[in-house]
Structure 1
């Protein structure tokens, strides 16, 4: 009996030693991060609001931690290609995903589903910003409200088109639910990113789109696009003369966009906390906060737990929107 007890204690001590030995490298890995350049995979093309915000975050993180933070665009399949690439990366903190919510909260509701399960394969690290959105049109569209747009499009069926970065992208669904609620009739044209969508409106191949403010601000300033409505219940500070959806009588449409950073599943908790904390600390960087606000992003640093709750709320909301637009 005594020999068994001694053997048990020896085995237990061995396991405890292994646990401590493993914990030391993990803690050291988290403490040393970043020891080399860090890459954000951006699963959409350059030029859109998500790409712009990713580069602002990368610049601020480089300045804060003294290591290069780089943005690599891996676009395609409405964000699924780049997302899958990030999921396949080692969970060591040197390849992260920076994305809007499309591949996280929306893609799973479409057929065929993506080759990953976001809840299982990714760890939410931090929400970086909420992105105000605008409904923009080509200046040749004379409608002054969504109601006037609806009347114009119904009088000319098949003549008017709206664009998005792809079927199932949040901008596609936001535009679709706004058009549905307002009674406008427009045909959807999917593009491969927000940059091409904007060029499509400027070139009059299409007539309307929903975009982050950052993605269209320059073109509005040049008079090449015109904001028709602010997506939300209130007007935007930078566009006080542009009616909100509530002003247009669409109080039931409450969708909004966000950007966030994710890690591949399997990342140690210590490293998750280290990376999330480093991003959240950017709220103390005045230049970073000012740059985001100048582009009409709303800095909204949420850590892993809060961000995860926000994701689940949006996942349920988008399922409702998708169901409504498929009727």
Structure 2
């Protein structure tokens, strides 16, 4: 009898992950967005969550956990049960940059997450307040050189993508701005609109709505090609600043140890959403584009970006903490 009991236990243990995958999800899922409401990361997270809810038949609830350049929210997911019900909207900044700048993160970015899928990408842009005395990149660089300390550069936080994009720009151009970090791109953009800061390297969706009304000026796009959303705006290379391409990507990660079956289901769901025509149209309205990729694609991209930013951080002599 005891032998039969242990055999039954072994069989139950073997089929349990498969049974879980077949019934998953059976309750609401939390998608942790590691930045404040109002920014591009939040926008991408809510777009994805809405479509995931429809595809999976369960609510996908966005929970904003800002701070620490994305590390606070990432830590929540790293410490969550590996059951597929707590997910992270992963960003290039949080996954590939922050670990290079912060020595004592409470998690290991390379080991404590299971990559799920890539979702979208957006170009970064150089935006300035309307009262900034520069109508193009060359004038901005010259003014910054002639007036050190007069131009403040906002960011979504120390180590965020827009912070590092600004540092890269300063390294390549010779301009100097005073860095002013905020707890997210939303607050940083609000300060740009009010004129409290003069410069912001932002994800395009974060400032696009303010371009046509003339509330902000975008001087350049930090991408290989011009953005279809603002085709008259030159790339940084066209404006004279070479080797400063930064396009932000977004994906989904789960806690390490999440079953392969659940990861596969989530991967197929996210890729299907990224290929959906309705979603593609919604992204285009924001200046973003779909970027579907597998779990393996996300893992590879994270590693490549870590190596790339390590070289940039070292060459620009950006301090770590």
Kept in 2: contact 1:166–1:172 (CA 8 A): yes
- Identify unmatched segments of 5+ residues in structure 1: 1-10
Matched, 1:45 2:45: no
- Aligned counterparts of 1:250 and 1:241: Cα–Cα separation in 2: 17
Question: Aligned with 1:291: secondary structure?
Answer: helix
Kept in 2: contact 1:42–1:98 (CA 8 A): yes
Change (3 A) 1:198 1:283: closer
Q: Could you tell me which of 310, 314, 317 is aligned with 1:323? A: 314
- Aligned counterparts of 2:72 and 2:191: Cα–Cα separation in 1: 23
Matched, 1:238 2:229: yes
Kept in 2: contact 1:233–1:251 (CA 8 A): no
Question: Aligned with 1:129: secondary structure?
Answer: strand
Question: Aligned with 1:152: secondary structure?
Answer: helix
CA RMSD of aligned residues (A): 1.9
Post-superposition CA distance 1:104-158 (Å, at most 9, x none): 1112212433111111100110111111111100111242322221111111121
- Aligned counterparts of 1:247 and 1:284: Cα–Cα separation in 2: 31
Query: 1:278: which partner in 2?
Result: 269
- TM-score calculated relative to the size of structure 2: 0.93
- Pairs within 5 Å for 1:131-150: 131-150=122-141
Matched, 1:128 2:149: no
Q: Could you tell me which of 187, 207, 210 is aligned with 2:178? A: 187
314-323 vs 137-146, which moves further: 137-146
Change (3 A) 1:53 1:241: same
91-100 vs 50-59, which moves further: 91-100
Q: Could you tell me which of 87, 91, 94 is aligned with 1:96? A: 87
- TM-score calculated relative to the size of structure 1: 0.92
Kept in 1: contact 2:120–2:274 (CA 8 A): no
- Aligned counterparts of 1:255 and 1:53: Cα–Cα separation in 2: 17
Post-superposition CA distance 1:56-91 (Å, at most 9, x none): 011111122221111000111221111111111111
Query: 1:106: which partner in 2?
Result: 97
49-58 vs 61-70, which moves further: 61-70
Query: 2:58: which partner in 1?
Result: 67
- Alignment length, in residue pairs? 317
Kept in 2: contact 1:147–1:182 (CA 8 A): no
Matched, 1:201 2:185: no
Kept in 1: contact 2:229–2:284 (CA 8 A): no
- Displacement, 1:222? 2.5
Query: 2:293: which partner in 1?
Result: 302
Question: Aligned with 1:120: secondary structure?
Answer: coil
Structure 1's consecutive aligned runs of 4 or more residues displaced over 4 angstroms after TM superposition are: 13-19
Matched, 1:262 2:285: no
Change (3 A) 1:185 1:284: closer
- Aligned counterparts of 2:290 and 2:94: Cα–Cα separation in 1: 21
Query: 2:46: which partner in 1?
Result: 55
154-163 vs 103-112, which moves further: 103-112
- Aligned counterparts of 1:215 and 1:16: Cα–Cα separation in 2: 57
Q: Could you tell me which of 249, 252, 256 is aligned with 2:240? A: 249
- Identify unmatched segments of 5+ residues in structure 2: none
Kept in 1: contact 2:80–2:255 (CA 8 A): yes
- Aligned counterparts of 1:259 and 1:235: Cα–Cα separation in 2: 20
Matched, 1:222 2:213: yes
